[in-house]
Amino acid sequence: MGAGVAFAEMIRAQRGALFGWVPVCLAAGIGWYFHLAWEPSALVLGLIAGGALLCALLARALPESLRPFAVAIVLVAAGFLLASARAHSVAGPVLDFRYYGAVEGRIVAIDRSQSDALRLTLDRVKLDRVPPSRTPHRVRLSLHGDRSVDIAAEPGLRVMITGHLSAPSGPVEPGGFDFQRHAWFVRLGAVGYARTPLMGVSEPDGGLGVFRIRMAASERIQEVLRGDVGGFSAAITTGDRSAISQAALDNLRASNLAHLLAISGLHMGLMSGVVFAALRLAFALVPPLVLRVPARSIAAAGALVAAAGYLALSGGNVATQRAFVMVAVALCALIIGRRAISLRGVAIAATIVLVMRPEALMGPGFQMSFAATTALVAVFGWIRDGQVPMGPNWLKPVSAVVISSAVAGFATAPVAAAHFNAIAQYGLLANLASVPLMGVLVIPAAVVAVVLAPIGLEFVGLWGMSLGVRWILTVADFIAHLPQARTYVVGPGGWVLPLLALGFIMLILWRGPLRWGGAVAMAASFVIWSGTTRPDVLISDTGTLVGVMTDEGRALSKQRGAGFAAHNWLENDGDGNDQYLAGALWSPEGRVIHLSGKRAAAAFDGCEKGQIVVSSVVLEHEKWPCAVHDPDSLRQTGALAYWQEGSGRVKLVTARDATGDRLWTHWPKAAPPRDDKRQAQRTKN
């Protein structure tokens, strides 16, 4: 058999499984768009569209074995164009200066910041002496200080406050999480804080009705169930996570149970499953009716309506929309008499999500959801097709729960570790002790509470919910305080997750011996990850914090302040220290000098060759022989990272190098100074 014939046979063997590659190709195009360091022009977009059209026209003329590759090229191009179209469709003004003054707007979201401060998102914004053409569509303010004199924040209420605003910040280190990109796609043009009282301007208008219902439901839940039990219950029913304490959140994260808070595929699937089963049971109780109507299709349609209601009640965030799409695909398959759960169904759901929100690909929510779902469907499909015994009938539910938790945990663990730099050592144990209770008690009780709410008896269902929620919080607290409950891992390089994902998909979708190449790719991704090196020196984009790698870990120049950058640097290092302990490692007598404040800058009288000087205020200096970074230069470059290379050389990478000039970056118009590289060369020992 010739190579050409063997290749054709290999491609022919993929019939029936090729649809699973549709979202993979779309994702490749979307990832290509976001990976660029420059914004594609109309000419580039036109050339890509033209090339895709040409491939589509020529596909039929190609041999059958080559047609899938032509279709793949078209899909990659489509993903690229979809991402570009989405990025331009959400364009809006971004504040390009530091603003202090009156901020007026309508409350459209209420949550809490990482520091546990109440946080408001406003639209229909008005800023003092800022024209509408430069005013962001949305701003977000964290409310600090004494809030006892504030009016109650209500959905739709138009408020005014005096606050500090600035543009969303860039990555805290080159290649780090890009908050500017995230803010761009949620149309957030400014972020800041306020310490003055919150004042009402006008009563809530007629809009945001669903938001008001959500917050009223959350308030009622918290009236019946106090403390973290009420906060947890409100989070999984209405999406309002503002009432759960930071201590409880940390316990949930350390025990790998934080996913129970997010209204995602688990909650949507359990809720629709409860409704579907209840409707099927109701039909079964009326034999004459069940013999005359398609009970399964009607029950699936009822569950779909309930899922849509849950989507609206929970706020309809991106994760919940993604979960709804996945459940809707499964329920629609049931309605038309097809298998509800299959890899084709997962591929359809992923395709719909990527078409609607291409930017979702870059977030951990999408990656973890579809990694878990794909792995679960594949594993249970192999069990079904291979007729693998799962024990006697009474043991099968237990076996299914154990297998589900283990498979989902193993599938999502690398993604979670890559994004959050931590591994919950006892996560499987915590999930085995908690997830079944979500299915048999918490979610069914929530459905009962919703059904009884119109007649004022919702407390019956809420009491049932509280039993399960208390158990989950107790498990989280117990697991989180076990020795070595959470270990930290270094953040991977940019190509680790794509290579891991490609290997994972190859292992599941490909038919034939080549599928084991996916396992090789996955192993290679872990090898690359294990060899990841971290920068020797990190400098924040404002010059307020410097981190130097030492034998004991990263030494930070401050024990307090710039906490967000400090937290992220230590996490990416795989370091479990807090900022205070990392600050205790700092030595002012090193090669890196940090000048914090005007007094330190004024007292500084110069540097030597090979040193790096970082100042939090603008330095008036002559041409010193060292590398100097102050707010003026950092405004052009963003955060900085230095790597020590061989022969005494150092490598300097800027956040601007890593992110490029994109729609969402908003670097200053002036070209970045080109002497940064020369400054780096002057630091040779």
Q: With helix as H, strand as E and coil as C, how does 472-536 read?
A: HHHHHHHHHCCCCCEEECCCCCCCHHHHHHHHHHHHHHCCCHHHHHHHHHHHHHHHHHHCCCCCC
pLDDT of residue 41: 94
pLDDT of residue 13: 82
Domain annotation covers residue 220:
no
pLDDT of residue 182: 93
pLDDT of residue 622: 64
Domain annotation covers residue 435:
yes
State whether 85 and 105 are in the same domain: no
Q: What mean pLDDT do residues 252-281 have?
A: 84
pLDDT of residue 679: 44
The answer to pTM > 0.85 is yes
State whether 308 and 270 are in the same domain: yes
State whether 321 and 292 are in the same domain: yes
- Give the count of beta carbons closer than 10 Å to the beta carbon of residue 518: 19
State whether 79 and 105 are in the same domain: no
- Contact present, 572 and 420 (Cβ < 8 Å): no
State whether 161 and 252 are in the same domain: no
pLDDT at 682 over 60: no
State whether 590 and 607 are in the same domain: yes
Domain annotation covers residue 222:
no
pLDDT at 274 over 90: no
What is the identity of the amino acid at 556?
L
State which of 23-37, 56-70, 143-157, 336-350 shows the largest mean pLDDT: 23-37
**Domains: count for the chain:** 5
Domain annotation covers residue 579:
yes
pLDDT of residue 623: 74
Provide the pLDDT confidence category of residue 677 given band limits of 50, 70 and 90. Answer: very low
Provide the pLDDT confidence category of residue 206 given band limits of 50, 70 and 90. Answer: low
Residue in the block written with tokens 């190509």: 495
Q: In angstroms, how far is the first alpha carbon of the chain from the final one?
A: 62
- pLDDT tens for residues 664-674? 998 887 544 44
What is the identity of the amino acid at 210?
V
Provide the pLDDT confidence category of residue 614 given band limits of 50, 70 and 90. Answer: very high
What is the domain-level CATH number for residue 166? 2.40.50
- Is pLDDT larger for residue 384 or for residue 135? 135
State whether 479 and 507 are in the same domain: no
pLDDT of residue 684: 41
Domain annotation covers residue 615:
yes
Helix (H) or strand (E) holding 191: strand 188-194
Q: What mean pLDDT do residues 466-485 have?
A: 93
Residue-number span of the structural domain to which 301 is assigned: 235-488
- Is pLDDT larger for residue 539 or for residue 313? 539
State whether 313 and 457 are in the same domain: yes
pLDDT of residue 62: 87
- pLDDT tens for residues 71-125? 999 999 999 999 999 999 999 999 988 999 999 999 988 888 877 788 999 999 9
pLDDT at 685 over 50: no
Provide the pLDDT confidence category of residue 207 given band limits of 50, 70 and 90. Answer: low
State whether 158 and 301 are in the same domain: no
pLDDT of residue 334: 87
User: Is residue 416 classed as helix, strand or coil in its secondary structure?
Assistant: helix
State whether 458 and 564 are in the same domain: no
Strand partners, 539: 546, 640
Where b means 16+ CB within 10 Å and e means fewer, 378-388 reads bbbeeeeeeee
Q: What mean pLDDT do residues 633-654 have?
A: 88
pLDDT of residue 536: 93
State whether 504 and 544 are in the same domain: no
The one-character DSSP state at 597 is S
Which of 36, 69, 89 terminates a domain? The answer is 89
- Is pLDDT larger for residue 595 or for residue 212? 595
- Contact present, 591 and 648 (Cβ < 8 Å): no
pLDDT of residue 610: 83
Q: What mean pLDDT do residues 448-469 have?
A: 90
pLDDT at 264 over 80: no
Domain annotation covers residue 450:
yes
| % of the chain surpassing 90 pLDDT | 42
Domain annotation covers residue 225:
no
DSSP character string of 56-83:
HHHGGGS-TTTHHHHHHHHHHHHHHHHH
Which of 41, 69, 89 terminates a domain? The answer is 89
Domain annotation covers residue 94:
no
Residue 30 neighbours by CB under 8 Å, 6+ apart: 79, 80, 82, 83, 354, 358, 359, 361
What the block records as the tokens of 381 is 């499909």
Size of the chain, expressed as the number of residues it contains: 685
Q: Catalogue the long-range contacts made by 649-655 (C-beta closer than 8 Å, 24 or more residues apart).
A: 649/681, 649/684, 650/536, 650/680, 650/683, 650/684, 651/680, 652/627, 652/676, 652/677, 652/679, 652/680, 653/174, 653/175, 653/535, 654/174, 655/170, 655/171, 655/173, 655/174, 655/176, 655/541
pLDDT at 589 over 70: yes
Residue 674 neighbours by CB under 8 Å, 6+ apart: none
- Quick one: 615 exposed, middle or buried, by C-beta within 10 A (0-12, 13-18, 19+)? buried
Q: What mean pLDDT do residues 189-198 have?
A: 93
State whether 509 and 641 are in the same domain: no
User: Is residue 546 classed as helix, strand or coil in its secondary structure?
Assistant: strand
Separation in Å, CA 563 to CA 132, 229, 242, 595? 33, 29, 21, 18
Q: What mean pLDDT do residues 495-504 have?
A: 93
**Cα gap 171→638, rounded to integer Å:** 8
Provide the mean pLDDT of the chain: 87
Angle (nearest 5°) at CA 242 between 240 and 248: 110
pLDDT at 249 over 70: yes
> β-strand 422-424 against 486-488: which pairing, if any?
antiparallel
